[in-house]
Amino acid sequence: MQNYLPNESRYTNGMQFRRCGKSGILLPSVSLGWWHNFGAENDYDHCREIVRYAFDHGITHMDLANNYGPPPGHAEEMMGRMMQDDLRPYRDELFIASKAGYVMWPGPYGNWGSRKSLMASLDQSLKRMKLDYVDLFYTHRYDPETPLEETLQALVDIVRQGKALYVGISRWPLHALKVAIKYLSERDVPPLIYQGRLNMLDRAPLEEGILEECHNNGLGFISFSPLAQGLLTDRYLQGSVPQNSRMSQGRFLKEEMLTPELLAYLNEQNAIAQAKGQTLAEHALRWILEQKGVTSVLVGASSVEQLKKNIKAGCE
């Protein structure tokens, strides 16, 4: 591939930036998730095209985690390679997140939320991504066994060490989120953002008061799996499973989910989208972005064509 020169109009071609809660950070309305599509089986140049396209269109926020791949760690390694090949000169234009909390290495310290696990995992992530620091470091999930204060103090110390600029909370229940907001704010490391699954098929953060809690306390909110892993796109409208789709892998998205009721709902929403001149994906993403307190949607994309459609939702 040729040397990368980003599109000069990357900040003027329509992407809307939104303030993340009450912080100084602006995030693009559409951000790029690296959970799938950046594994060892994915072609590097194909992935590089997706990331270049994203950055060229104002997607400054890249969301990774220690375990993204497969194999775990591979997405971060790819980020490290892209840093070397394309992105290093633009490091200060990028807002890069990583996380720890799911199983990453064998034994009792490669999982969950202990200080030991979080600290070691972030050091590994920085090496893989060839970075000195991440912009945002998340506790990836709630750990019912580790004292919350231990996990939270590790986040405070990670910021103090300069290894992360901000911290975030992912998938914690409301009662624990409240503890986190208080603990971190009292130590001058207020959490920047909460990451939760919110989409037209799964409205839990709205219904359980997470979104409201974030809004009332100055945290941003970013929605993961905003397209329900592809269900809220035109991929499954016929009720069949396309080759090479996430459902065809049968790991995180299963064929049994395509019930007649779901298909009827998806086709109904698709008709509403079409009447507005939108794709179902754009319609679904815009629905999320209209919810009070939402900062950004974290889309996955297995091709530039998909990303192109999704980006429209974040543009005026």
Ligand X SMILES: NC(=O)c1ccc[n+]([C@@H]2O[C@H](COP(=O)([O-])OP(=O)(O)OC[C@H]3O[C@@H](n4cnc5c(N)ncnc54)[C@H](OP(=O)(O)O)[C@@H]3O)[C@@H](O)[C@H]2O)c1
Write out the residues near ligand X by the rule CB under 6 A: 33-37, 63, 140, 170-171, 195, 224-230, 233, 235, 245-246, 281, 298-302, 306, 309-310
User: Which residue type is seen at 28?
Assistant: P
The least CB distance from residue 68 to ligand X, in Å, is: 7
The least CB distance from residue 8 to ligand X, in Å, is: 26
The least CB distance from residue 170 to ligand X, in Å, is: 4
Measured from the CB atom, the residue of 18 and 187 that comes closer to ligand X is 18
Measured from the CB atom, the residue of 52 and 140 that comes closer to ligand X is 140
Q: Which two tokens stand for residue 33?
A: 């998730």
The least CB distance from residue 167 to ligand X, in Å, is: 14
Distance, CA of 150 to CA of 228 (rounded, Å): 33
The least CB distance from residue 311 to ligand X, in Å, is: 9
Measured from the CB atom, the residue of 187 and 303 that comes closer to ligand X is 303
| Sign of the C-alpha dihedral computed for residues 7, 8, 13 and 14 taken in this order | positive
User: What DSSP string describes 167-188?
Assistant: EEEES--HHHHHHHHHHHHHTT
Question: 17 near 315, Cβ under 8 Å?
Answer: no
Measured from the CB atom, the residue of 104 and 299 that comes closer to ligand X is 299
The least CB distance from residue 302 to ligand X, in Å, is: 4
User: Which neighbouring-strand residues pair with 299?
Assistant: 32
Q: How many CA atoms lie within 13 A of 185 on its CB side?
A: 14
Measured from the CB atom, the residue of 67 and 114 that comes closer to ligand X is 67
Distance, CA of 148 to CA of 152 (rounded, Å): 6
Measured from the CB atom, the residue of 21 and 300 that comes closer to ligand X is 300
Closest to 63 measured CA to CA, from 170, 158, 163: 170
